[in-house]
């Protein structure tokens, strides 16, 4: 990882190199922006590199819309493990969804996760790994873990492409990104 200046951070995953733009976030300063969406080459390189980091015994992957969606699809495809996706809005078609709040560290506003009943059933009795693109505070990861438990599964571990911050989750990840530049 190479910091080019305050506006850009160079990251290499496998044989793919990207210059991540940085964006201003409140008074924190500039933070690097990871975008797997719209970049299938970078997504595939990260998925491939994450395969050996999947916790042993994992039977199902769980993620949440939107940014980690192509990444988790690709890890599922390459590992053969099925994946399940929580949503951030109620969908009209959901049947008996599990509803889980995510306390936000930065804004004090709770976000809500929705897991459709038929998808929750796919976690029951399974060892489930939480997959995310970037783990910062760990609040979303903890909310996903709570969904696993409420669905009758057990958490096998936490897997992310990037760690950015000081969460004390037992997380496996490819690289650590600076919190601000």
Nearer to its own copies, 38 or 170 (CB): 38
For the chain, first and last CA: distance in Å? 13
Binding-residue total with its own copies (CB under 8 A): 27
From candidates 4, 25, 28, 99, binder to its own copies by CB under 8 A: 25
The answer to whether residue 69 forms part of the interface with its own copies (CB under 8 A) is yes
Quick note: the x/- pattern for its own copies over 91-110, rule CB under 8 A, is: -xx-----------------
Would you count residue 66 as binding its own copies (CB under 8 A)?
yes
Is 132 a residue that touches its own copies (CB under 8 A)?
no
Output 84 or 143, the one with its CB closest to its own copies.
84
Whether the CB-CB separation of 129 and 156 falls below 8 Å is answered with yes
**Any contact of residue 27 with its own copies (CB under 8 A)?**
no
Which of 29, 57, 117, 118 touches its own copies (CB under 8 A)?
118
Q: Is 83 in the site for its own copies (CB under 8 A)?
A: yes
């Amino acid at each position: 990882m190479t910091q080019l200046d305050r506006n850009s951070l160079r990251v290499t995953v496998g044989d793919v190199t990207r210059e991540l733009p940085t964006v201003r976030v409140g008074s924190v300063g500039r933070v690097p922006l990871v975008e797997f969406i719209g970049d299938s080459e970078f997504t595939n390189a990260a998925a491939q590199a994450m395969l050996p980091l999947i916790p042993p015994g994992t039977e199902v992957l769980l993620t949440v819309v939107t940014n980690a969606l192509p990444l988790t699809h690709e890890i599922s495809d390459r590992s053969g493990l099925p994946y399940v996706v929580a949503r951030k809005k109620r969908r009209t078609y959901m049947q008996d969804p599990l509803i889980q709040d995510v306390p936000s560290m930065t804004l004090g506003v709770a976000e809500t996760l929705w897991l459709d009943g038929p998808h929750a059933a796919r976690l029951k009795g399974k060892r489930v790994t939480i997959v995310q693109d970037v783990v910062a505070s760990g609040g979303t990861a903890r909310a996903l873990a709570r969904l696993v438990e409420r669905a009758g599964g057990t958490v096998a571990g936490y897997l992310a492409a990037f760690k950015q911050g000081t969460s004390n989750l037992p997380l496996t990840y490819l690289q650590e990104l600076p919190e601000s530049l």
